[in-house]
Structure 1
Amino acid sequence: MSEAPHGAPIKTPGQLIAAIIASFAIPVVIIILLANYVNESTRTGAGTDSLSEAAVAQRIAPIAQVNLRDANAPHVYKTGEQVYQAVCSACHATGNAGAPKFGNADDWAPRISQGFDTLWHTALTGKNAMPPRGGTSPDDYSDYEIGRAVAYMADHGGAQFADPPAPAASAPAAQGASAAGAASESDAVSAASAQAAAAIAALSSSAPQANAAAGAAPSADAAQAGKALYQAVCQACHAAGVLNAPKFGDKDAWAPRLKDPMDVIYNYALHGKGNMPAKGGSNASDADVKAAVDYMVSAAK
């Protein structure tokens, strides 16, 4: 049995030269293709990103910035949803730290049963893991805006709460049309506060003007002005007893206050005490503040 002779694959000098060239060229081509693939994206040297225009601008930006705002422009209050998204959602969206989860009726049911005023007070003063005002300050969001956020969350949990009463827009006090009545009007109706001016101005424009020479006891106009100031300013805390304010009409809460002479109570209202700022944070006149105190005291007797 004979075997076939073995033949070499390269039989001519041309085939040998081609094989030698291919053995060098193919690896070189593969290396070039790999290098192009690896360097396909643009690369920068280490640390050069910090020299970009955006990075340099961020480093040299001033720490403090001044934002100018028209002091006479009307204040635009945030909606309950806006306050919730900016502040409350951090915990209430997922129910962190025992917070009632947004939209969960079972979580909100026991809170809703306490009433809106209690929930509002809790949001302002804090409870358990929740800090007062959700960790914000009155400069960030007003009591009214916090109340709107409370109503927004509670309503999505099954409540039907309305937003708290909006603070009255600031407006100049109404002036008498004639020069003869101007002096008596300024004696009877003082410049209203920034928050209660619109309400007091409306009352003063329709009520009879007191005669400065009469020098009589406090008139019905003063009582109406006190009620109007209470509704526009004082009730933000006294209606629900927020921040330990004696609740309107609550005889037990007012009893220890009424042990002091009225001049002392007036002094507290005019100059502030505890959490209450002077004149409730308004610019009302002393006479109107005293009228508001009389209105609240009369309701607690």
Structure 2
Amino acid sequence: MSNETKAPGKIVPVLLGVVVLLVVAVYLLAKLATGGFDVNAEVMTKEAVAARLKPVGEAKASDAPPGMKTGQQVYEGICITCHGAGLAGSPKFGDAGAWGARVAKGWDTLTLHALQGFNAMPAKGGAADLTDDEVKRAVAYMGNAGGGKFTEPPVGGAAAAGAALDPAVAGKKVYESVCVACHATGAAGAPKFGDKAAWGPRLGKGLDGLIASATKGLNAMPPKGGYTGSDEEFKAAVTYLTNAAK
């Protein structure tokens, strides 16, 4: 058999080898271009990306008057952006393990970090319009959920603390900072402030019965209407509401 008839048989293996080399080269170039990163689909959802791109402190910490926001209102309006999921190394809300070492540093250190900023957290969580007391209330609210035993600064600052001596004034302060959200307009089935017809059946329970129901929560109203201050201050608010309807 001549050499001419053997040539085609030699060319085929050579071509196959070239094709294999090309495939391998393309694969290696692709790996080099992507850097070998393994992208998790969960972190690339629209919701996850939006959460990471959302400016810190962009949310609104309730419609309470300036300086009158409770710790819960500040947390739900601002702090939850990071602390709700434990983003950027922040201790997750309610995680006693994550909060333990921080609570151990003490109140002064925790509030100083929150006010001035610490690690990835900007000063006041990025919400520069919050007062120092509002930030401190949020620290107490989150710290207590993680095992701490802090006391929130009273709503209204020193004025509210002094008002505690006068139940009528204290009740009005609490109403204007928390209860007004529903009772001013009768939202969510709440009896409207000063509406004798709406309050009539409720007044029949007596003041003690009303206070007991409001403290535990009733229908759409959470315990104490979401108020995080003392029981005495809350009782003063219930008294203020009932007196306005008599």
Does the TM-score normalized on the shorter chain lie above 0.5?
Answer: no
Structure having the larger proportion of residues in helix: 2
Higher relative contact order (CA 8 A, sep 6+): 2
Class of the TM-score when normalised by the shorter of the 2 chains: 0.3 to 0.5
TM normalised by structure 1 equals 0.36
Larger Rg: 1
